Amino acid sequence: MPRGTKNDGSLAPLQFANIGGGRCEIQTPCGCINLKILPDITDSKGAHYVGEPTPGRSSPMLTYAYSEPRSINTELHFMTTIFQDIPDNIRAIRIIQSLVYPGAASGIAPFTPPPVVRFICGTLLDGVNGLCLILKNYSIRYPTDVAWDVVSFLPYKFSISCSWEVVYPCNKLPVNKCINKDDTGYLYDGDDFSEEGRNVYTKAKQ
């Protein structure tokens, strides 16, 4: 079992590649959030069937129509154990907040959509390459029953609830064989990332 803290008592990022382990991070065009506490994750998806009424049957025939969006709900946990955690945690807040805002104008388009991110958590989310997600909404609770920083007023412990939806390129929609084989690392090639985001994506693949 790897250590969760460093020698100075600070929390260590969930990055265990040096011992053959996984990592837990959110890669965005605005920067990478290296999580230090394992998030709570709920992964849900459904299939929609249409009932075909048939005379004489005790129940209708079911015809598959489509699969519903795959939703990922997370509770991201942050703590302050050393001074540097304060600006790092505030930066993580700003990155999460930016993911529900549109981008600046591009060409003749008056705006660009909010960015796509890559969420990696070991191999839980479809293998080592994780999933590409869009953030649907977030909610931050700043508790008052813990110590807080006297400058920023940031609590030393807080959580961010996020609702994500998985996205795929139109020409690479997965089928069940891909899911069974964890063969979804290709889901998004970073084309909507900014220059910084492309660099983040490139480094993640190396």
Which pLDDT tens digit goes with each residue over 121-175? Answer: 888 887 778 888 999 999 999 999 999 999 999 999 999 999 999 987 776 666 6
How far is Cα 192 from Cα 196, in angstroms, rounded to an integer?
11
Q: pTM, whole model, 2 decimals?
A: 0.75
- The CATH number that applies at residue 200 is 2.40.30.200
112 is in which domain, residue-wise? 17-205
Does some domain include residue 57? yes
**Number of structural domains found in the chain:** 1
8 Å CB contact between 155 and 148:
yes
Per-residue pLDDT averaged across 37-62, rounded? 88
Q: Tokens representing 128?
A: 């080592």
Residue 193 within any structural domain of the chain: yes
pLDDT at 167: 86
> Does any domain span residue 181?
yes
Residue that the structure tokens 């549109």 belong to: 102
